[in-house]
Amino acid sequence: MIKGIVIIGAGTMGNGIAHTFAQSNFKVDLIDVSQVSLDKAMKTISNNLERMVTKEKISELEKINTLNNITTSTSIKNTSKNTDLVIEAATENLDLKLKIFKELDDYYTENTLLASNTSSISITQIASATNRPHKVIGMHFMNPVPLMKLVEVIKGYETNLATLNLITEIAKLINKEPVEVNDYPGFIANRILLPMINEAIESLHHGVSSVKNIDDIMKLGMGHPMGPLQLADFIGLDVCLSILNVMYKGFKSPKYVASPLLVNMVQAGKLGIKSKEGFYDYSNNKKAEVVSKQFQ
């Protein structure tokens, strides 16, 4: 069974994936070209574990063991070539992912499984950068990774059954619920979610209702834990735009055309929580309590 895991990318998703595997007693190498990003990731993981200790969900010893299970580095060359599984969680950019997967394919032995946490990009296309497409698969985790149960397991055109079965078992070992999906733009989660978010942004853009009212309607009427505009801020408006663009390019359907308001906000650097402003203002805290001045 797989013991060693390499995670590529120490951002929000990467550090969450590293945290989750390490807490399940896997040895994890967390890799990022930026030492600053690695330091920030470890601080985030430590803080998240401390909150779990405070809430008595884990013990202090479990926190220490989880942190000790993670090693950081700025190069894959500091990891074993015989690593069992590598999970890429870099920025949602096709050219970058193709470059990374070529490097992974060149460095790791032919037995290493290569997975991508991509939220919308074709696994088949990513696999084409390697000489092992049968060992390439999608593992789309949900944010925040330590808390969310779902992992979309995406089969590329050449992903074989052995790879699919092993990744499914690994997901269960870290207390996730793997759900199999075929390789089409946006898969299932984002193919359904992003048009809803985009429609909420369009409704705001056309003055149908306010930020708070749109979110309240979906929370109170549809039972959603957070409204679509708050969720867009949480995901990152740049990520939302990127996913919509991937789906529009893949399907050529107007229902995936991003709202002009979303495009303008991304161009203006209003990306949500990560930039401290999106549909809500996060200057003082990360809760969606104050609507951005632009929409008041």
Residues in the chain: 296
Which residues, listed in sequence order, are joined to residue 179 by a DSSP beta bridge? 152
Point out the residues that are catalytic. Answer: 119, 140, 152, 190
How far is 168 from 145, CA to CA, in rounded Å? 16
Question: Is residue 271 within 8 Å of 235, Cβ to Cβ?
Answer: no
Which residues, listed in sequence order, are joined to residue 139 by a DSSP beta bridge? 153
Sequence-distant (6+) residues with CB within 8 A of 96 are: 90
DSSP state, 84? S
Alpha helix ranges (H) inside the chain: 12-23, 35-54, 60-68, 94-107, 123-127, 161-173, 189-205, 211-222, 228-235, 237-251, 260-267
Q: Which long-range contacts (CB under 8 A, 24 or more apart) does 176-180 make?
A: 176/20, 176/141, 176/149, 176/150, 176/151, 177/149, 177/150, 177/151, 178/151, 178/153, 179/150, 179/151, 179/152, 179/153, 180/153, 180/155
Task: For 244-273, give one letter per residue: b (16+ CB within 10 A) or e.
Answer: bbbbbebeeeeebebbebbbebbeeebbbb
Residue 198 CB-density burial (10 A; 0-12 exposed, 13-18 middle, 19+ buried): buried
3-state secondary structure of 227: coil
Pairing of strands 280-281, 290-291: antiparallel
3-state secondary structure of 204: helix
